Amino acid sequence: MYTYNTTMDTEDMEISRSNHSIFIPFIFEFSPQHVPQVMCTVEGVDIHMPVDTGSTGTLIGAPILPNIPPTVGTPAHHFFTSSKILYVGRMVELAMSFTGDGGSYATAQVPVLVVDKSWRCPWYDPLVDRFECPTGPHGEQAVERDTSQITYMGIGFGRNSLKDGMPFATPRVNPLLNLCAINGESIERGAMHAGYIVSREGVQVGLTPTAIGEFAFTQLEPGLTWAEDSRDWAMASMCFSVNGEGRNCGSVLVDTGI
């Protein structure tokens, strides 16, 4: 559990003032052989939405959302440094509805990257390249990927530096930080304590005293866009040693590894 607060007291965090919360279960039993997925509906289309904790933002292939005109949205791109896959499309403000436990449901309103083109691009440099996969160092040409099967939801944080390849990956595009209604009841901004707990069973969205009772807290540094959005956190810091020797320090990426 992460927080900016200078004390570890949950009362100081005003958790007790919020009781807005919903549990969104994974569709299938958690297994290393299966990607964690939640049930999601976008533009009337039901999607088994993969959940990733090492990136930020939702990607949906344009063929999956045929009612969205190809001219709608703001041009954007998203590159995964792990898989070396580039996604190019448009950020479109959409409602995402999630199926919760016991018939409950929640709605988020966020910009979604509607993907028009995608390539696996091993030589892509996020510090230099943008909307196209360039020619490889030996003249290689990237093969365009099928976008009709692209569904992806990143709920991580601290991944929006240019080197990460996700310049649009701010809290504004994280669906779980932008729930606007639970069971049809509107939630005013600030009324829900923004945060979530990922378990083997699913995701508890919205922090309450009961939900955080057994957690310890640590401070985070402000993220790159913290001045505009105080929900933008930098990655947690860590150090480790091997066989009791050395001190290796860096950032923690808590990643489901999709």
Residue 257 has pLDDT above 90, yes or no: no
Beta bridge partners of 117: 88
pLDDT band at 234 (very low <50, low <70, confident <90, very high): very high
**pLDDT by residue (tens digit) across 66-102?**
999 999 999 999 999 999 999 999 999 999 999 999 9
pLDDT of 200 reads 94
pLDDT of residue 140: 97
Pairing type for strands 45-52 and 37-42 reads antiparallel
- 123: tokens are 């030589």
Q: What is the pLDDT of residue 33?
A: 83
pLDDT at 254: 86
pLDDT at 6: 34
> Which pLDDT band holds residue 34 (cuts at 50, 70, 90)?
confident
**Mean pLDDT, rounded, for 169-198:** 94
Whether the CB-CB separation of 116 and 89 falls below 8 Å is answered with yes
Return the ∠ at Cα 52 (arms to 50 and 58), rounded to 5°: 70
Backbone conformation region of residue 255, classed left if phi is above 0, alpha if psi is from -120 to 50, else beta = beta
Task: Classify each residue of 25-36 as buried b or exposed e, where b means 16 or more C-beta atoms within 10 Å of its C-beta.
Answer: bbeeeeeeeebb
Cα–Cα nearest to 175, from 42, 64, 15, 70? 42
Task: Centre a 10 Å sphere on the Cβ of residue 174 and count the other Cβ atoms it contains.
Answer: 24
For residue range 4-32, what is the model confidence (pLDDT) as tens digits?
Answer: 333 344 444 556 566 799 999 999 998 88
Domain range summary for the chain, segments of one domain joined by +: 22-206
Average pLDDT across the chain, whole number? 92
Query: What region does 139 belong to: left with phi over 0, alpha with psi -120 to 50, or beta?
Result: left
Q: Which CATH architecture has domain 22-206?
A: Beta Barrel (2.40)
Mean local confidence (pLDDT), 182-208? 93
Mean pLDDT (whole number) for 125-137: 97
